[in-house]
């Protein structure tokens, strides 16, 4: 990686996931809403990066979106381009193609989804997944990308994630988001994530987080879980943008992050 737009150890960076913009766009053949325009507005509003998850069924992000966005990211050298997906399905082929075109690719987030999965709902497991992950992680790093592994908040798994060569883990936050409405469950979940983040950092990994984070649950998560390098947020953020617009929405999420560090 030539330069790292989201270095470890700084205030949490907001990466906007644009899957849901593409989902709406794909219901007609008109090209609206535009994924690249959404990316531009979010970056102008202060998003530190763009995330996409090109699923094999192309229900939202399509192959051309990856290249269109990578071209756009060339004009934003201090922002991060993060592509999520399963390295045993379509992800590595896309990553090779991005780099063959000389386009930026800062982070690959490996997610163990099945083809056609409704949405991501679990992380990698060690030692079961170790052997097959080693070569694809090595290849991703040779392509110049940081590698993050989507993981459940299980402290005992973090040494395994580091041993296979990952740079970071992305903690799967849906269980926290689902527990948020109930104060006792929320506290219990927060403690799980806090311990998982500390274990990851002790193993030498950076920590990202994502899935169902929103304006209500984000600040408390970042106040409690130490040293989160990046959050990727899509579903709730794009839903908010339908009401508030991209610019005000990105500002609102950045305020949630700022409040956690105040």
Ligand X SMILES: CC(=O)[C@@H](O)[C@H](O)COP(=O)(O)O
Ligand Y SMILES: NCC(=O)COP(=O)(O)O
Residue 53 falls in the annotated catalytic set: yes
What is the C-alpha to C-alpha distance for residues 207 and 225, in angstroms, rounded to an integer? 10
Active site residue 64: no
For residue 205, give the nearest of 177, 172, 176, 164 by alpha carbon: 164
Supply the minimum distance, in Å, between the C-beta of residue 102 and ligand Y: 25
Find residue 50's DSSP bridge partners: 16, 81
Q: Is 59 annotated as a binding residue?
A: no
Q: Does 48 bind ligand Y (CB under 6 A)?
A: no
| Shortest distance, position 2 Cβ to ligand X, whole Å | 25
Minimum CB separation from ligand X for residue 92, in Å? Answer: 16
Residue 115 a catalytic site member: no
Among positions 91, 136, 234, 257, the unique one binding ligand X when judged by CB under 6 A:
234
State which of positions 163-182 bind ligand Y (CB under 6 A). Answer: 170
Active-site residue among 84, 106, 162, 170? 84
Site for ligand Y contains 6 (CB under 6 A): no
Residue closer to ligand Y (CB basis): 232 or 254: 232
Q: Report how many residues bind ligand X under the rule CB under 6 A.
A: 11
Q: Residue from 235, 244, 247, 252 that binds ligand Y (CB under 6 A)?
A: 235
| Given the residues 53, 106, 162, 230, the one annotated as active site | 53
> Does 212 participate in binding ligand Y (rule CB under 6 A)?
yes
Of 125-133, 179-187, 222-230, 232-240: span binding ligand Y (CB under 6 A): 232-240
Q: Which DSSP string corresponds to the chain?
A: ----SS-TTSSPEEEEE-HHHHHHHTTSSS--S-HHHHHHHHHHTT-SEEEE---TT-SSS-HHHHHHHHHHHTT-TTSEEEEEE-TTTTHHHHHHHHHHTT----EEEE--PPTT-SS------TTTTHHHHHHHHHHHHHTT-EEEEEE-S-GGGHHHHHHTT-SEEEEE-HHHHHHTTSHHHHHHHHHHHHHHHHHHHHTT-EEEEESS--TTTHHHHHHHSTTEEEEEE-HHHHHHHHHH-HHHHHHHHHHHHHHHH-
53 binds ligand X (CB under 6 A): yes
Partner whose footprint covers residue 212, from ligand Y, ligand X, none (CB < 5 to 8 Å by kind)? ligand Y
Q: How far is the CB of 122 from ligand Y (least distance, A)?
A: 13
By the rule CB under 6 A, 54 interacts with ligand X: no
Rg (CA), the chain: 17
Q: With both helix axes pointing from N to C terminus, report the angle between 91-100 and 63-73 in degrees, rounded to the nearest 10.
A: 40
Which residues are annotated binding-site positions for 3-amino-2-oxopropyl phosphate?
17, 28, 212, 234-235
**Residues annotated as part of the active site:** 53, 84, 211
* Site residues, ligand X (CB under 6 A): 19, 53, 55, 84, 111, 119-120, 150, 210-211, 234
Q: Residues comprising the binding site for 1-deoxy-D-xylulose 5-phosphate?
A: 55, 60, 119
């Amino acid at each position: 990686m030539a330069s790292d737009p989201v270095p470890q150890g700084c205030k949490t960076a907001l990466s906007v996931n644009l899957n849901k913009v593409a989902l709406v766009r794909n219901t007609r053949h008109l090209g609206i809403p535009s994924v690249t325009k959404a990316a531009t507005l979010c970056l102008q509003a202060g998003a530190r990066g763009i995330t996409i998850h090109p699923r094999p069924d192309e229900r939202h992000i399509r192959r051309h979106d990856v290249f269109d966005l990578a071209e756009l990211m060339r004009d934003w050298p201090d922002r991060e381009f993060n592509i999520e997906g399963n390295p045993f399905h379509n992800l590595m082929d896309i990553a090779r193609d991005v780099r063959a075109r000389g386009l930026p690719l800062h982070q690959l987030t490996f997610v163990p989804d099945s083809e056609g999965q409704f949405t991501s709902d679990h992380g990698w497991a060690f030692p079961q997944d170790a052997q097959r992950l080693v070569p694809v992680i090595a290849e991703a790093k040779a392509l110049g990308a940081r590698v993050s592994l989507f993981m459940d908040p299980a402290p005992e798994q973090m040494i395994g994630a580091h041993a296979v060569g990952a740079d970071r883990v992305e903690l799967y936050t849906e269980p926290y988001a689902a527990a948020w409405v109930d104060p006792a469950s929320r506290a219990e979940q927060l403690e799980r994530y806090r311990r998982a983040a500390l274990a990851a950092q002790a193993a030498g990994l950076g920590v990202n987080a994502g899935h169902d984070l929103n304006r209500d649950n984000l600040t408390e998560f970042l106040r409690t879980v130490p040293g989160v390098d990046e959050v990727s947020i899509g579903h709730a953020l794009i839903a908010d943008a339908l009401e508030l617009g991209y610019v005000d929405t990105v500002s609102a999420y950045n305020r949630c992050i700022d409040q956690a560090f105040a």
